[in-house]
Chains A and B, each alone.
Chain A
Amino acid sequence: MEIKVLGPGCPNCEEMKRRVEQAIKELGINATVEKVTDMAEIMKYTMSTPGLVIDGKLLHAGKPLPPFEKIKSLLGG
């Protein structure tokens, strides 16, 4: 699974990445997490950060962050 966390580096984006990594660990799935900070790259997907892209598909954009359980279910847990 290829996961991208989109965000220029605000606290929300860091928190999103932290939650995603935690979810991956708990679910025990094989996934790579990439933090995307390049604006042109972010904007291919959305204007609202933080964004969560899983296997090329935008599944979350903007505030508020999805709760931990929701992220787990987005990851297929």
Chain B
Amino acid sequence: MLKWIADTVVFKLFGLSPQTKLADALHFFVYDTLKIFLLLAVVIFVVSFVRSFFPPERTKKILSHRRLFIGNILAALLGVVTPFCSCSAVPLFIGFVEAGVPLGVTFSFLISSPMVNEIAVVLLYGLFGWKVTAIYIGAGLLVAIFGGMIIGKLGFEKWIEEYVYKIRTGQGSDVIKQGFRERLEYAKWNTKDILRRVWLFILIAIGIGGFIHGYVPEDFLTRIAGPGNPLAVPAAVLLGVPLYSNAAGVIPIVYALMEKGLSMGTVLAFMMAVTALSLPEMIILRKVLKPQMLGVFIGIMTLTIISVGYLFNAIL
């Protein structure tokens, strides 16, 4: 069906003959635009509906007084389903601390939340298939679980700003009641809201993808930064840390890198570094973390992401 539309547009409407580079690129663009936007709309809608059952208040209750490891796994998983925007990081952090969520567990949540999200998942699935998607989700959870565990083990509670421990709100798990109709409505808003924010990025991503697909020879970058170069992973991560973009914006770059022959682990590590560590989020987190703690957080994340990159380069 989608292929038929793409065929019609490229070969009939534009009258291009098949097997030319331009037709190839345009066909890719039309087909993938349709496919990805359909997927995005459906997935965001479903995910938003599911998320309406996991407000942060409930997540906080589930994670309260959890032990390390089990707590970190739960937190990483809940990070995926709890709706959370980084501008809520401060109240969320304070709320978690107040509810007795261990520090390492809180970090597992904060790490997994921006990294593993529905937009990344849909785009990866649409452009690279389910295998890469599964690997990305697995890797994201790994980074969140182990990053959080290491931070928890280090016992750096003293490097949290003191006022965090003083705020006593007594705020329990007071959640706005939602019925089935409200949840559907919420899912609809969210879908519209997200699509409105990301459509341009995605079009650019697919455009670059289409161009590369049609014109750039494969194995272009393989010689410089392929599996043969042991420094490719740290270089990609160090480059990605200061860069910031959401998942939608980083995919064009990821797509280009991958099509040009960079190995999977290197590309995923780059994508994680870009989405998980961002300057705006660091500025927000600085309000609750002392500079030392922020440094430790960035350091541990960088090392964990590099390790995951190597791991995937080794096993794939």
Contact = CB atoms under 8 A, between A and B. Distances in A.
Interface residues of A, number: 26
Contacts of B91: 8, 39, 42-43, 46-49
Contacts of B208: none
B interface SS class = helix
B193 A44 contact: no
Contacts of B84: 48, 62
B213 interface: no
B90 A44 contact: no
A8 B87 contact: yes
Nearest to A58: B176
A48 B89 CA distance: 9
A69 B103 CA distance: 40
Q: How large is the interface on B (under 10, 10 to 19, 20 to 34, 35 or more residues)?
A: 20 to 34
B190 A44 contact: no
Contacts of B185: 70
A10 B89 CA distance: 11
Nearest to A62: B83
A64 interface: yes
A43 B88 CA distance: 11
Nearest to B85: A63
Interface string B57-87: 1001000000000000000000000011101
B169 A40 contact: yes
Contact of A12 (B87, B169, B171): B87
A3 interface: no
Interface string A38-69: 01101111111100000000111111111100
Contacts of A20: none
B189 interface: yes
The 6 closest A-B pairs by CB, nearest first: A10-B87, A64-B193, A43-B169, A47-B95, A47-B91, A47-B56
28 contacts: A7-B87, A8-B90, A10-B87, A13-B87, A39-B90, A40-B169, A43-B167, A43-B171, A46-B57, A46-B91, A47-B91, A48-B84, A48-B91, A49-B87, A58-B176, A61-B55, A62-B55, A62-B83, A62-B84, A62-B85, A63-B83, A64-B193, A64-B194, A65-B193, A66-B189, A67-B189, A70-B185, A70-B189
Interface of A: 7-8, 10, 12-13, 39-40, 42-49, 58-67, 70
